[in-house]
Amino acid sequence: MSTCVFCRIVAGEIPATRVYENEVVLAFMDIGQVNPGHVLVATKDHVENVYALDDAQAAAVARAAARIARAIRSAFAPAGLSVYQANGAAAGQTVFHYHVHLVPRLEGDGMAVHWPVQNPPRDALEAHAARIRAALG
């Protein structure tokens, strides 16, 4: 996809600081570093979001993200690590090519996630679970 910035990075058309790659994924430094060591793990093939991933791509990204997360911990010793992935504009996705952010976290770094807890009753949770189970087939 010639207009996708991540496809252009994978193709070497746009420079990136590469951290790791294999036949399925490319991991590179995010130019919008939140904290030192902020890495993006992306599929090499253009896949827009988690819904379009095949099982092999999903597994490859998860394996690479875990491996790189351990390396970030070893290299930077952050107080924590946020693993962030968004799907669709409503979720905050801005680059529509599947990728996972590995963000080393420091106390007071200013990054926050607001989680508006709803606490539905158990019967509502059971109904939601039944809908998902039915969709799983």
Catalytic residues: 99
End-to-end CA separation in angstroms for the chain: 33
Query: What are 66-70's contacts with CB under 8 Å, separation 24+?
Result: 67/20, 68/19, 68/20, 68/27, 68/39, 68/41, 68/102, 69/102
Closest CA to 74 of 102, 50, 42, 44: 102
